[in-house]
Every structure is written in structure tokens, then in C-alpha cells.
Amino acid sequence: MDLEEGLVLQQLFGSKAKPVGLGLDLNAGDNHYRAYVGPPKDYDLISAMVFNLLTSIGLRQHHRVLDIGCGSLRAGRLLIPYLNQGNYIGIEPNKWLVDEGIRNEIGKDLVKIKKPTFSFHASMNGFKEPLQVDYAIAQSIFSHCGKDLIQEWLSQVSFHLKDTGALLATFLVDNKDFDGKGWIYPECVSYRPETLAEIASEFGLNFEMLDWAHPRQTWALFSKEKYDNSLVKDGPISWNRFVAKAVNE
């Protein structure tokens, strides 16, 4: 990339824009659209992990998905083309990450076709009416949140989930709880599962750990009372189990 191209990028995307590339030589948190959201070498792995988890527990094209901290569309690059028009909602306070994700991963034409919704805020306070979401995702969000933010997110997600909906979130497990507040990044924090279960119950959500592999964290399910958890209990989550159920419905 020459100087002129670099200046054009800076004008279009702001001072945080970086040259196109996978950033494989960078560290997690570095100022690159793939590196800022986690280890660049795992970008594709995390994409597949989230998409496969959702589709294995029942996600279909007509469902509405809320992607909390959607970043540079690491999961969105698979979810947006899969879901029907208007069914993807991404929350991300760092607008430059979404801009770079659109530019490098999905393109503006797909955005025009699928019409995803993006909110560039650190909360969902701007959505006054329930979004009627089927599934919400918070991958590597609670691992950077104090309890105050976890409570805020669970309150807001509970409001926007359908009665049959669920949030899938990752966190770091420990035998003691982080006692700080606010957003902690790029450092990580950890919690006891019992603590998250207690917070979930405050907002009418059931809590259970999931048997779904993650490179560094643990998956948990926060579900509404009418959520059908038959595909996440009694053994590993499986695509085969989902298909067997789907074809018999």
C-alpha cells in the first residue's frame, strides 16, 4: 500500500484504519480489525465455532440474531448471508471495526441485500421496543465485564429475547469472582458459575454450562422459561441431533 492509498483509507475510516491483510503477525488487541477482537490466527476458528454452535442448537434462516460486541463481523460474516433479510442485529461501540469488517469481509453489496442493523453504542438503551430476538451471542464479552456490566447486559438481553429465546455467552471460570466494575480490555476477568447463575435468575433467565469447545473460555446458556433446551442437555451438542429433530417436526 502506498502513501496515497493510506491517506484515502484514513479519510474513509479514520485514523484507526489499517491496511488490508490478515494481521497474522500481530497480537490480540493490536490496532487491526482482526487483531483488535482477539488472536488473529483464531479469527476463522471463532467464526466457525459460533456459527456451528448456533446451527447445532436450532438456528434457522428465519430467526433473529443479536450479536453483542459484533466487532469486525467475525461471526457476522457467516451469520449475515445465512439469515433472512433484516434478521441480524450487531451491537458495537467501535464503529471503525464494523466499517473494516464490511470493507474486508462481506462487502457493501451484501449489506444492501441482507439489511443488517448496527448500533454503535455500548448498550441497547436506544432500542425502546423489544426486538423479539431468537438467539443472542456474547462471545468474549463477559470475560471483560465487571458484574455491573454483566447485570446490565442480562437485563437488556432478557427484555429483547422472545419467551423461547436464549443468550449464548462465554466467560472464564474461576473459584473466585472479579470484584471490579466496568469494561476491562484487553485484560480478562473470571467468575464462578454460581455467580452468573445468581445474576441470571434476577432477570428471569435460566443458566447452564454448555458442552461446546472453546480455545480459552467456557460457553454458557442464559435462556427464557419457554426455551427448548433438549439439544443442549444430556451429552455433547451435535448437528446430528438437531437434524434428527428438525426432520421429524
User: What CATH number does the domain containing 185 carry?
Assistant: 3.40.50.150
Between the CA of residue 98 and those of 51, 69, 90, 104, 124, what are the distances in Å?
18, 10, 9, 10, 17
Domain membership of residue 156 (yes or no) is: yes
- Tell me which residue range forms the domain holding 236: 40-246
Are 206 and 223 spatial neighbours (Cβ–Cβ below 8 Å)? yes
d(CA 243, CA 249): 10
Q: Lowest-confidence range among 20-24, 25-29, 152-156?
A: 20-24
Q: Lowest-confidence range among 123-132, 155-164, 240-249?
A: 240-249
d(CA 165, CA 80): 19
Domain count of the fold of the chain: 1
Are 203 and 171 spatial neighbours (Cβ–Cβ below 8 Å)? no
Domain membership of residue 201 (yes or no) is: yes
Domain membership of residue 152 (yes or no) is: yes
Domain membership of residue 216 (yes or no) is: yes
Domain membership of residue 35 (yes or no) is: no
Digit-coded pLDDT (tens) for 125-150: 989 999 999 999 999 999 999 999 99
Kindly report the backbone phi and psi dihedral angles of residue 200, in degrees, each rounded to the nearest multiple of 5, phi listed first.
-60, -40
Domain membership of residue 144 (yes or no) is: yes
**69 falls in which pLDDT band (50, 70, 90)?**
very high
